[in-house]
Structures are given as structure tokens and as C-alpha cells.
Amino acid sequence: MSNNGIGAGRQETPASTANGYLAILLGLGALAAGVLLAWLTHGRPATALILSGLLLGAGGAMLAGLYMQQPGEGRILTLFGQYRGTDRQTGLRWANPLTTRRRISLRARNFNAPTLKVNDKRGNPVEISAAVVWRVEDTARAVFEVDDYELYVSIQAEAAIRHLAAQFAYDEGEDLAPGETTLRAGAEEVISALKTELQARFADAGVAVQDAKITHLAYAPEIAQVMLRRQQAEAIISARKKIVQGAVSMVEEALKGLSERSIVELDDERKAAMVSNLLVVLCSDKDTQPIVNAGTLYN
């Protein structure tokens, strides 16, 4: 890809730079040579003075192109508005002194999204927040494609979190398909979907997502108590269903055992009464009081 102009340089390319220590030696050497030549040729022909001036200018230019680059940093070089590449090498570096060198951090950074109130898939208001770890991957895109890549990250992260919450229901319910992912129970699937959407949104700014976590998730305060009571009711109903299923199974086994062993012969009416009594005993959440029949079975 051609780098003629900022618009064409939207993908990062290595900059042409040199070792700064060598540049120091050459620059100091040129300055010393220029000073020495000027002293030795004082009052001599003008050509010697011109050569001395050139040496001094070259030495100054060599020193002017020096810059120190720390680990985790990069320099974006532009020359008269044209992108000339990005230098990622650390230490004392040298580049054309006419270039503009913009420092940009390559370290991983954390964005803590504020708590957002959004509606989940069911339309229930929930509160959600997340932490996103990101870093600049393509320096040219980060600088030339958006005005402020840090602000861009914060805006797109909040938009992604809002969209994520609307894709999933907060918790399970009868209106969901079996095994459907929810915000509360499907942590891995939800985080994976969040990372995918964040990366898609950050790509234009040359930013890569390192990690993302949901840091807060709850029903909005105005419906929290109502939803808690609903969850408690659903739990009670589910428990009752299991109790009834177990009681029916036990009654069925009892009647089958009595019939197979010929312990007692019961007509349909007495079987119904026995089933009713057993279900009351097995399904009751309180201790039952037995009543002893001192007469015959049919009295």
C-alpha cells in the first residue's frame, strides 16, 4: 500500500529510523570537525567557511533528530502531512529531523464502563457494567481514522454493552428455549459475545480487545423486589412439582406391592381413598396426625 498522504497510510508500516547512539557520535563528530575547520581556516577562502558551516549544520541536524523511546511506546512519523511509518523500537533513536514524531502508548489499558440501565431480551430493566482491557494494535488507524481513539473506545464499549444486554434475557424462564443462554447463567457465552462485538467495533480505530469481564449485573431497583418474589415463587413451584412426582411414584409402588403380595384387596373406591391419604401425608409440609380406625375397613 502506498503511503502517499495520511488518507492512504491507514495501515501501520515500519518507519525508517536509525540507532541514536551512532547518530550522537556522527553529530558530535560533525560539530567538532566544523568548529575545528572554522578555527584552522579563519581568514582563509570563503569555501572553507562554507564547508565548516555545512559540517556544523549537519551535526546540528543529526542531534535534532534524536529521541528517546521507552518500552511500550511507539512514534508515528509524518513529513509535511504524509505518514512515514511507526517506530516501535526502544532506546535512543534517530529519525529525519524534519519529521513530526507523535508518541503513542502501546500498553494495555483498562476501561471501566459505568453502570448502565438497559432492557434485556424480555424488556425488563437491568443494570450492567463491564471492564474492558484493550491496547492499540495499529497505530496508523488509531491516529488517522478517528479524532480521539480513547474517547472512541469508551463510546463504542458502552454501545456494545447496551446491545449485549438486549440480546439475552437476564435469567431463565418458561418463555425461553431449553438451553438458551442468559446473562446470569451463561457467563462464558456472554463474555465471548461481548469480546466479539467489541473487537468488531474497535477494528476501525486499530484497537485490539485483550479481555472483557462483566463487573455488575442486577435487576434495576424499581423491579428488583418484584423479580425476587417471582424467582422465589418459581422455586417453590418447581420444588412442589418434584415432591408431587415423587409422591405419585411412591403411591404407585405401594399399591403395586399390596396387589402383588395379596396383602389386602381394595376396590376402586378404597384405592382412591388410600391414594388421597398417602398424597396428603407425602406432600404436606407439616407433620400429619394419624387416625386409627378401630373398626372394619368399611366402617
pTM: 0.68
**pLDDT for 271:** 63
**What percentage of the chain has pLDDT greater than the value 90?**
40
**Arithmetic mean of pLDDT, 99-128:** 91
Report the C-alpha gap between 171 and 218 in whole angstroms. Answer: 10
Examine the pLDDT at 85 and tell me if it is beyond 80: yes
C-alpha cell at 204: 476501525
- pLDDT tens for residues 173-193? 666 677 788 888 888 899 999
Q: What is the mean pLDDT of residues 59-66?
A: 89
pLDDT at 235: 66
pLDDT class of 74 with cuts at 50, 70, 90: very high
The confidence score (pLDDT) of residue 296 equals: 52
Of the candidates 48, 79, 81, the one whose C-alpha atom is nearest the C-alpha of residue 65 is 79
What average pLDDT does range 143-158 have in this prediction? 94
Contact 243, 282 (CB under 8 A): yes
Boundaries of every domain in the chain: 18-105, 109-219, 224-283
Cell of 122: 424480555
Q: What is the DSSP letter of 285?
A: S
Query: Sorting pLDDT into bands at 50, 70 and 90, what band is 293?
Result: low
Q: What pLDDT is recorded for position 281?
A: 64
- Nearest-CA neighbor of 82 among 18, 145, 7? 7
Residue 31 pLDDT exceeds 80: yes
Contact 24, 92 (CB under 8 A): yes
Closest CA to 199 of 111, 134, 148: 134
pLDDT of residue 140 exceeding 90, the answer is yes
Contact (CB, 8 A) for 116 and 173 = no
pLDDT of residue 6: 41
pLDDT, one tens digit per residue, over 195-251 is: 999 999 999 999 999 999 999 988 877 665 666 666 666 666 676 677 777 767 777
Candidates 3.30.479.30, 2.60.40.1190, 3.40.640.10, 3.30.2310.20; correct CATH number of 109-219?
Answer: 3.30.479.30
| pLDDT recorded at residue 225 | 64
**Residue 163: which residues within 8 A CB-CB, separation 6 or more?**
197
Distances (CA, A) of 256 to 27, 114, 242, 272: 104, 63, 21, 14
DSSP 298: T
